[in-house]
Amino acid sequence: MIFSIDNILSPEELRFIVNSLEKADFVDGKTTAGWHAKFVKNNMQLQREATYAKDLRELVETALRRNALFQSAIQPKSIHSVLFSRYETGMSYGRHVDNALMGNQEFLRSDVSFTLFLSSPSTYEGGELIIEYSDGDRAYKLEAGSMIVYPSSTLHQVETVTEGVRLAAVGWVQSLVRDANEREILFDLDTARRSIFAKEGKTIEFDLISKSYANLLRKWAE
């Protein structure tokens, strides 16, 4: 399941992150790429050890935890490995798949990937996130503060930036529910029961769907 979430950050949070990154220490992005991705990765990333990097990561993680759509669709167990990337003119990230396990010795699974756009699309040319589908490629270039969420198992790439600077935060999630099809079933059930509750309150139908939702989550959660 691939979907976008608008305004994941408040204007104040977005401004704080962008202002922090303007004075940030960036390093070659190859330092965090898998052995095969290094050959196609050409960007810069905020040093993980920078004094303010931890605060920026926590800000993004907090925004995701409070977002109802993200919580319902992804069932996050661990939001991890958040990176802040910078693409200047001529930079890109070629076709690749994300590592299955991350976090050094923690061995956190990457079930879901996300890209949080931090630059307004009017301030740079190129830089689209391309995700491969069975019926072709699709390009994403969202407003600043908005996010695209997609399976970590997909092949994807970032097109060359031809003008301006593209700032983004990327990260990964280990879900409570490993299987993407099971997550989608739970998301559909949760969406349906919330719709019923909003229209009719706590009905018999709401209770039955809630029972099925809880029992499936109990069965599938790891």
Binding-site residues from annotation for Fe cation: 96, 98, 156
Q: Which residues are annotated as a binding site?
A: 96, 98, 156, 166
Q: Torsions phi, psi of 91, nearest 5?
A: -90, 155
| CA-closest candidate to residue 124, choices 179, 66, 83, 85 | 85
Question: Alpha-carbon distance 9 to 99, whole Å?
Answer: 26
Q: Which residues are annotated as a binding site for 2-oxoglutarate?
A: 166
Measured CA to CA in angstroms, residue 192 lies from 6, 12, 149, 187, 214 at distances of 21, 33, 21, 9, 14
- Number of residues written out for the chain: 222
| CA-closest candidate to residue 55, choices 6, 101, 17 | 17
Type and span of the H or E element at 83 = strand 76-87
